[in-house]
Amino acid sequence: MSDDVRFIIITGLSGAGKTQAIKALEDLGYFCVDNLPPQLIPKFAELCRHSASSRRVAVVCDIRGGEFFDAVFGALAELDREGMPYQILFLEANDETLVRRHKETRRRHPLAANGRILEAIEEERRRLQALRGRATKIIDTSDLTPQKFREEIIQIFASEGGLERLIITVVSFGFKYGLPLDADLVFDVRFLPNPHYVDELRPLTGNDPRVDAYVMSWPVTRRFMRRIADLLDFLLPHYVREGKTQLAVALGCTGGRHRSVVIANHLGEQLRAQGHTVLIEHRDAARGGGDAE
């Protein structure tokens, strides 16, 4: 495999955060495949080796594969024979955390045939112990919030991949719920035309195409987007030279459901198109309506 191709195998305990890891790597531009049978790993790696577009790839391989999972060491041996470099990211958490997560999501543990989650976790730990010993990186997610876990994944693989070190979080919020505490730049978009006063748009959020079309249809919105893009074009290189690794850009409207969500989505996608590593969050979009949003 070419030195500029990065191939990551994500594995670990059920409920430890493999889905979140994939989403974080997708934000870095990785092509991700979930629940890939181990027998297909060498063939898939070979395809990536000759692909001009898939230079960063991550696959999840875990106990969900049942009896197929037992072939994982044979697949790794084949990768070694072919001289294909890879990394193994192993995710784990303590028993209490895993039990809680399974109960919160109501997802059945792959090994819990009799419904006893704790016994299934113990069996999974035993079966994964040898693979854990092969891991390049082990992360215990017990005490990590989803946001902190995602930041850790991005920091590890962005820096190792030679990518830009600055991670930009674009977050929408509602002023009536307070400012985001970690915001570096705050922009007030309450001057934009408000979908809250359009009856058919009021129950929706800025993630709905109808609300998006309404907000973006106004010349003042498009002018604002150009101005904020110009400002960030000026600021970001200076932040990078300063050595800043994280930047939180917050966009607020009254309730954080309509205008700020639309602007955050568009700004985040613009920055991604320029090659930046961007996370988009909507802090208050799921909150109920009330006052003018």
In sequence order, the 6+-apart residues with CB closer than 8 A to the CB of 145 are none
Mean pLDDT of 116-143: 91
Range 229-237 contact pairs with CB under 8 angstroms and sequence separation of 24 or more: 229/267, 229/270, 232/271, 235/185, 236/166, 236/168, 236/276
Domain architecture of the chain: domains with CATH: 6-160 (3.40.50.300), 167-282 (no CATH)
Range from 85-89, 114-118, 288-292 carrying the lowest mean pLDDT: 288-292
Q: How confident is the model at residue 105 (pLDDT cuts 50, 70, 90)?
A: confident
End-to-end alpha-carbon separation of the chain, Å? 52
Which is nearest to 91 in space by CA: 155, 7, 13?
A: 13
Q: How confident is the model at residue 6 (pLDDT cuts 50, 70, 90)?
A: confident
Range from 99-108, 168-177, 180-189, 226-235 carrying the lowest mean pLDDT: 99-108
What does pTM read for this prediction? 0.59
pLDDT of 82 reads 86
